[in-house]
């Protein structure tokens, strides 16, 4: 698998472990946060695949499903989900939004490696092994990407969604520079670094990935995009027509949050 590295001006000395102190003893090696909103239909297959795949890796793992607003049977899906091997827990969070959910999930982690993935299996689960490989090489942030060299679409997005995605990419480029795809819902991190990064983040909606990537770049973290064979899945929780104004507002919010965070000269 080829990868696209985002070269940094000042990688932190000493590799991943030098970035932040651990906040609590790690119970497992890898924790994966799955944000969910009304996912009673798509979540069971994703959990099935995760608990089948994770034990094939040479580490212990834990899945944290974060639900902050489902009105369907999502919680029951997780409760019914009895896995002998990999523990799967569902937690809530008072603030609505995917960004708020991922942040709440990250705050609960203690693992050496952490990540988040969407409930719809758009990114193949075995990409986790590639992410861990890159983390092991010393990268702090590994981002699955549909736009870097080597990426492909097994099932393409509808034209309207593609157009919206291109527009979003252009609008956020000043914030994230050379990162080709901020919005793929599959990112893995050096655990202590992620916990520090997410503690600083403010965005609650879908645009939170842009804030995470932009803050990681400004912190000088080592980041890499790994190409994925992506599958568009029906049942998106994001209505382009309905939510374009909200997403545009969120982009403005990221600009504001980063301006406020900029260190004084």
Ligand X SMILES: Nc1nc2c(ncn2[C@@H]2O[C@H](COP(=O)(O)OP(=O)(O)O)[C@@H](O)[C@H]2O)c(=O)[nH]1
Q: Which residues bind ligand X (CB under 6 A)?
A: 35-37, 39, 66-69, 96-98, 101, 118-120, 122, 185, 236-238
List CB contacts of 230: < 8 A, sequence separation 6 or more: 122, 123, 146, 151, 152, 153, 154, 155, 184
Helix crossing, 98-107 with 208-218: angle to 10°? Answer: 50
69 interacts with, out of ligand X, Mg ion, none, CB within 5 to 8 A per kind: ligand X
Q: What six digits make up the tokens of 121?
A: 């299996």
Closest CB to ligand X among residues 64, 221:
64
Min CB(204)–ligand X separation in Å = 8
Closest CB to ligand X among residues 120, 211:
120
Q: Is 196 in the site for Mg ion (CB under 5 A)?
A: no
Closest CB to Mg ion among residues 30, 117:
117
Contact criterion met (CB below 8 Å) for 210 and 254:
yes
Nearest to 136 by CA among 217, 30, 20, 55: 30
Stretch that binds Mg ion, among 1-9, 80-88, 111-119, 161-169 (CB under 5 A): 111-119
Residues in the chain: 265
Min CB(162)–ligand X separation in Å = 12
119 interacts with, out of Mg ion, ligand X, none, CB within 5 to 8 A per kind: ligand X
Closest CB to ligand X among residues 16, 114:
114
Closest CB to ligand X among residues 118, 250:
118
Q: Is the dihedral of CA 212, 217, 223, 227 positive or negative?
A: positive
Q: 3-state DSSP: the chain helix, strand, coil percent, rounded to 5?
A: 40, 20, 40
Q: Is 120 in the site for Mg ion (CB under 5 A)?
A: yes
> Which residues of the chain form contacts with Mg ion (CB under 5 A)?
118, 120, 122
């Amino acid at each position: 698998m080829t990868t696209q590295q985002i070269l940094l001006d000042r990688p932190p000395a000493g590799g991943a472990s030098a970035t932040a102190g651990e906040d609590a003893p790690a119970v497992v090696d890898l924790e994966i946060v799955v944000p969910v909103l009304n996912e009673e239909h798509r979540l069971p297959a994703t959990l099935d695949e995760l608990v089948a795949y994770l034990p094939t890796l040479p580490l212990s793992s834990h899945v944290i499903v974060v639900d902050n607003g489902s009105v369907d049977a999502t919680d029951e899906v997780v409760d019914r989900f009895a896995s002998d091997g990999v523990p799967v827990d569902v937690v809530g969070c008072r603030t609505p939004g995917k960004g708020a959910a991922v942040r709440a999930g990250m705050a609960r982690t203690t693992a050496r490696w952490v990540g988040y993935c969407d409930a719809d299996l758009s990114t193949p689960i075995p990409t986790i092994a590639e992410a861990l490989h890159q983390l092991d090489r010393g990268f702090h942030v590994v981002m699955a990407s549909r736009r870097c060299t080597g990426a492909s679409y097994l099932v393409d997005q509808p034209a309207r969604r593609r157009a919206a995605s291109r527009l979003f990419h252009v609008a956020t480029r000043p914030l994230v520079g050379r990162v080709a795809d901020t919005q793929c819902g599959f990112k893995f991190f050096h655990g202590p670094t992620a916990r520090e990064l997410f503690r600083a983040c403010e965005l609650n909606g879908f645009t939170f990935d842009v804030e995470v990537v932009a803050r990681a770049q400004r912190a000088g973290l080592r980041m890499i995009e790994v190409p994925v064979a992506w599958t568009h899945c029906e049942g998106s929780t994001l209505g382009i027509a309905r939510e374009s104004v909200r997403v545009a507002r969120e982009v403005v919010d990221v600009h504001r949050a980063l301006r406020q965070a900029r260190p004084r000269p």
